Amino acid sequence: AEMLPIIEKDGATMRLIAGTAFGQTAPVVTKSPLYYLELRASADCGVPIPPEHEDRAIYVVDGSLSVGGLAIGAGHLVVLRDSSEAEVNATEGSHLMLLGGERLTGDRHIWWNFVSSSQDRLEHAKRDWKDGRFDKVPGETEFIPLPEP
């Protein structure tokens, strides 16, 4: 954690977890250009969203903010669909996650904890989970069964 860049900007403190943003680069290896930032903002703080990527999102962990005049509260994810200028305006002390990256091509299929560009691979993952062929998660002892549709 101490190797991750800290960025301070007008009432906000950000920790760059992965990628490149605000002229800083995290030491975490990524497979494509992206950024993933933890942001803690004081009330009435405005922070620009890095525009380098076509797909960007903001997750509100705690607090509330507005983006382009839209009010957003805790537990919500806002997806910014283009790389135009955008700014987060915290309406109270807030904890946020900012992320952005290259747009993925092709369709994505999502079911429970599985995401794939192939429906066949998704079905294969379901069978593997149900039959216990996934590696155990270190430190976890509970097995969560596959949900039934």
Predicted local confidence at residue 35, as pLDDT: 95
pLDDT in tens for each of the 149 residues of the chain?
889 999 998 889 999 999 999 999 999 999 999 999 999 999 999 998 888 888 999 999 999 999 988 999 999 999 987 767 788 899 999 999 999 998 888 888 999 989 999 999 999 999 999 999 999 888 988 988 999 87
Q: Could you tell me if 78 and 57 are in contact, meaning their C-beta atoms sit under 8 angstroms apart?
A: yes
Predicted local confidence at residue 77, as pLDDT: 95
* Residue 60 CB contacts under 8 Å (≥ 6 apart), including other chains: 72, 73, 74, 75, 76, 77, 78, 94, 95, 96
Predicted local confidence at residue 90, as pLDDT: 94
Predicted local confidence at residue 149, as pLDDT: 72
Predicted local confidence at residue 53, as pLDDT: 85
Query: What is the H or E stretch that residue 17 is in?
Result: strand 12-21
How would DSSP label each residue in 33-96? SEEEEEEEE-TT-EEEPP-SSSEEEEEEEESEEEETTEEEETT-EEEE-S-S--EEEESSSEEE
Predicted local confidence at residue 136, as pLDDT: 87
Distance CA 66, CA 48 (A): 12
Distance CA 58, CA 36 (A): 10
Predicted local confidence at residue 84, as pLDDT: 74
Predicted local confidence at residue 93, as pLDDT: 95
Counting every residue written for the chain, the total comes to: 149
Predicted local confidence at residue 12, as pLDDT: 94
Q: Which pTM does this prediction carry?
A: 0.75
